[in-house]
Amino acid sequence: MAAADGLAIGKRAIGGKLMATLVLTTVGGLVGGPIGAALGGVIGQAVDRNLLFKPKGRQGPRLAELAVQTSSYGRPIPQLFGRMRVAGQVIWATDLVEHRQRQGGGKGQPSMTSFSYSASFAVALSARPILGVGRIWADGNLLRGAAGDWKVATGFRLYRGDEQQAPDPLIASAEGLDQAPAHRGLAYVVFEDLPLEQFGNRIPSLTFEVIADPQPVSVGSIARALSRGALLGAGPPQLLDGFSAYGDSARGVIETLADVSGAWFTPHGHAMAMKAEAVPTRTVADDGRLRRMAPAGRVPRSMLVSHYDPARDWQTGAQRAVRHGPGEAGVSIDLPAAMSASAAKTIASAMLDRVDKARTRRQLTLDAPAIDIAPGTVVAIDGEAQHGAWRVVAVAIERFRVTLDLIALAAPAIPARASGGRVLRAPDAPAGRTILHAVELPDLSGAIATRPQLTIVAAGQAPGWRRAAVLYSLDDGASWISIGATHAPGVIGTVSGAIGCAPDTLLDRRHAIDVDLPHSGMILTGADAAALDRGANLAAIGDELVQYGRAEQIGSLRWRLTELRRGCLGTSAAPVPSGCRFVLLEGNSVVTVPMDASIGQRILVMANGVGDAGPVEVVCVLSGRSVLPPAPVRLAARIIGDAVQCTWRRRSRADWRWRDGVPAALVEEREAYRVTITAPGRTLMLETDVPFATVPLTAIGDGPGQVTVQQVGTHGLSAAATLNF
C-alpha cells in the first residue's frame, strides 16, 4: 500500500458559475509542494481576466495591465478578497440618452443647439459579498476620490452582494419588475445618467477599488472559503492585501495559494487540511538506507513574482530572487494578488529556497509503530536537528515495515526589502464648494457686442474642483436657461487691505494689491510688458479692470501684485476696498454669454458642481458696460472771447490694443455727444456730433459749475467725463 500527500479537486467554476462537488483525495508524489515538479510553469488557474490574468489551459495566470472593461455572456465573475482593483463586467446598460440644449435665438439672432449624452449601466464586481467601493477610475482618471467625492455628477448605487438585496429600481423600471434580477450573492454597482462628454460620448473603461474585507486576508482563509468546506483548519497565516479568485478550477486557485505560501495538504478526518508550519511533530531514526540529491542544474536560477502593488494604485509590479550557480532558466509567476513590493520579494526568495531545498530527499524504513505517520507529517531525524525539518511525501507499508519518502524543508523566509518604483497617481483632491463670479464687462476679445453680455468665471474652494453646470434667469428665478458647463477652473480670491485710486495713464508703482486665494492649487505669475500688451494678467477687482506685472507669494495662500496698470478697457481706476473679490480673466476660464435683456435688468446666475450641497447663486445688474462706449477723456475748457469752449476725445469699445496708431473705429451708429453744464440755479444741456462744444459765458454765469460729457452710443449713453470750473 502506498500513499502520497496531495490535493485533487474536481473541476468547478470559481465565481459566478455553478460549482460542482469538491473532491479531496491523495495523488501522486509531489516535489516542492502540491503543484508538482514542474514548479517553473504550472501553478494553477487562479486567473482573473478582469485583472488581465489570462488563462491558457493549465498554464496558469499571466499578468499585464488592468484590463479594459468588457461585457461577455457566461464569463465567470471573480470572488474578491481583501482590497483589490478590478474592471468588472458590464451586466446591464441602456441606450445612450441624448440631451439637447438650445442657446440664443432671441431678437432675430440665430440659435445654437448643442447635444450631450449620458448612459445608465450596471457593472458586476465580485461573486462574493463585499463591504464597499473606494476610488473609481474612468479611462485612468479618477471618477471618485478616496474620500467618496465625485469628480463628475452622476447617480450611483452600490449593491454589496448579500442574499437579501432587492432589484435595482432603475433596472426594474426599464426591464419590468418581474424581469429584473436582484443578483443576490453578486456585488455590483449601478450608474444612472453618467455624463459622457468627457469620455468621447461612450461608456468609459472603469476600474474599481473594491473593499471585500476590512483587513488583509490570510492565505488559509481564502483557500478555505474557495473549498466550500473541503479544507479544514486555519491554514497558512501569510497575509495578502487582496486576491482575485477566478477560473474554471478551484484546484488551480488553491494550488497557487499553496505554492506561494509553501503550504501542503494532509488528511484531516474525511477532509484535508492545508499546512505550512515546518515544525516537526515526530522524531524518527535514520537507517541510512537511501539518500539522494537532484542536480542543481534542474533548479531555476531565478524566480520572478508579478503582482499588484497597492502603493502604486494597484498597477503591476514584479520582484525577482536570484540563485547563484548552475540551473535552468528563470521562472515567472503571475500572482493575482495585491501585496507590497517587499512582500513579493519575500515570496520570490522563499519559493526559490524551497525548490532548492527540495532537491534533497531521503528514504527511511521504520518499524510498525510508525504506521500512524501520514503523508504531510513534518518530522525531525534523530541526531540531525541541525539539518532542519523534513516532510513526509509518501508512505509505503509492506511486511510490517513502514517506508517514508522525505524531502527537506526550507527555513522560514527572512523578510526582504524592495521598492516598487516611482508611482504617478491620478490627482485626488476634493472639489469643494463652487465659487461663482458673474459680471458685465467690455468684450475681452475686442469684438463688437450687439447685446449685453455676462462674463462668468467659476472656481472651487478646493483643488479638485473641475467644472459646474451654469444656468441664468431673467425673471428672478421663475424660469432658468442653461448655459452648459463652466470652462477651466479660474483664479478667484479676495483683496486684503484697501487700495487707493491711481491714474489710468501711468504705471502704478506706488500701490500693491495683496490677494488671498482659497487653496494652493491657484497660483499667480508675472508678465513682461509685451505680454501685458497682449492682454495677460487682466483681473477684475470690483468694477475696475487691472493688469499686474509682478506676482510675489508672500504667504501660503497670499500673493502680492505690483507694477499695476489701472483702469483697463475703459473702466475707472477707483479705490479698492478690503474684501473686494479678485477674478483673473484668463481666456480658458471665462464664459461669455449674450443676454436677451435690457440695461438695468437684474440677472440671476446659478451654478451647481459635484462638491456643492446646493446651488450657488449670484446676482448681476446689467450696467451696459459690454455694449456702451467708454467715457470720453481729456475733457478741457477754455475761454475764447465771450464763450467757453469744451473739448474732449472719444474712446472706442473696439480694439483696445491700438495697434496702428490711428484713431480707433467709431463702431456706433453715429458720432454724437451729450453735454450738460450745471451752474448755480441753472442747467444747460446740448447735443453735438463733434468732439467739442461752445457755450456763451452768459449761459454759465459767474459761479462755480460743472461740465459733463457723455458719448451717445447705439445702445445708450456712456459714462460721463466730468470737469469742475
pLDDT one-digit tens code per residue, 684-703: 899 999 999 998 888 777 77
Q: How far apart are CA 211 and CA 658, in angstroms?
A: 62
Instruction: Answer for the pair 472, 483: CB distance below 8 angstroms, yes or no.
Output: yes
Instruction: Answer for the pair 580, 494: CB distance below 8 angstroms, yes or no.
Output: yes
Has residue 66 got a pLDDT over 50?
A: no
Has residue 512 got a pLDDT over 70?
A: yes
- When comparing pLDDT for 667 and 214, which is higher? 214
Has residue 139 got a pLDDT over 50?
A: yes
Has residue 653 got a pLDDT over 80?
A: yes
pLDDT recorded at residue 24: 28
Helix axes 219-227, 250-261, angle to 10 degrees: 160
pLDDT recorded at residue 107: 53
User: How far from the centroid of its chain's Cα atoms is residue 435's Cα?
Assistant: 21
Of 46-55, 187-196, 444-453, the least confident: 46-55
Has residue 325 got a pLDDT over 90?
A: no
Q: How far apart are CA 486 and CA 489, in angstroms?
A: 8
pLDDT recorded at residue 251: 85
Question: What percentage of the chain carries pLDDT values higher than 90?
Answer: 49
Of 65-79, 338-352, 519-533, the least confident: 65-79
pLDDT recorded at residue 114: 72
Residue 472 pLDDT grade (very low, low, confident, very high; cuts 50, 70, 90): very high
pTM, to two decimals? 0.73
pLDDT recorded at residue 210: 97
Instruction: Answer for the pair 593, 454: CB distance below 8 angstroms, yes or no.
Output: yes
Instruction: Answer for the pair 378, 278: CB distance below 8 angstroms, yes or no.
Output: yes
pLDDT recorded at residue 189: 97
Q: How far apart are CA 232 and CA 693, in angstroms?
A: 106
Instruction: Answer for the pair 33, 397: CB distance below 8 angstroms, yes or no.
Output: no
pLDDT recorded at residue 247: 75
pLDDT recorded at residue 642: 86
Sequence-ordered alpha helix ranges (H) in 475-614: 529-533
Q: How far apart are CA 165 and CA 161, in angstroms?
A: 7
Instruction: Answer for the pair 457, 450: CB distance below 8 angstroms, yes or no.
Output: no
Which residues lie across from 640 on neighbouring strands?
643
Of 114-118, 154-158, 159-163, 333-337, the least confident: 114-118
Superfamily of 633-724 according to CATH: Immunoglobulins (2.60.40.10)
- What residue spans define the domains of the chain? 2-83+216-275, 88-204, 290-408, 434-621, 633-724
Per-residue pLDDT averaged across 473-490, rounded?
91
pLDDT recorded at residue 51: 40
Q: E strand or H helix at 699, and its extent?
A: helix 697-700
pLDDT tens string 602-617: 999 999 988 888 899 9
**Half-sphere exposure at residue 416, Cβ-oriented, CA atoms within 13 angstroms:** 20
Cα–Cα distances (Å) from 269 to 153, 229, 230, 266, 537, in that order, read 56, 12, 11, 10, 80
Per the listing, cell 462755480 goes with 704
pLDDT recorded at residue 285: 87
Residue 519 pLDDT grade (very low, low, confident, very high; cuts 50, 70, 90): very high
Cα–Cα distances (Å) from 142 to 206, 207, 429, in that order, read 10, 10, 10
| Residue 514 in grid coordinates | 495683496
Has residue 42 got a pLDDT over 50?
A: no
Q: How far apart are CA 48 and CA 64, in angstroms?
A: 11
Cα–Cα distances (Å) from 506 to 501, 510, 567, 651, in that order, read 12, 11, 10, 18
Has residue 59 got a pLDDT over 70?
A: no
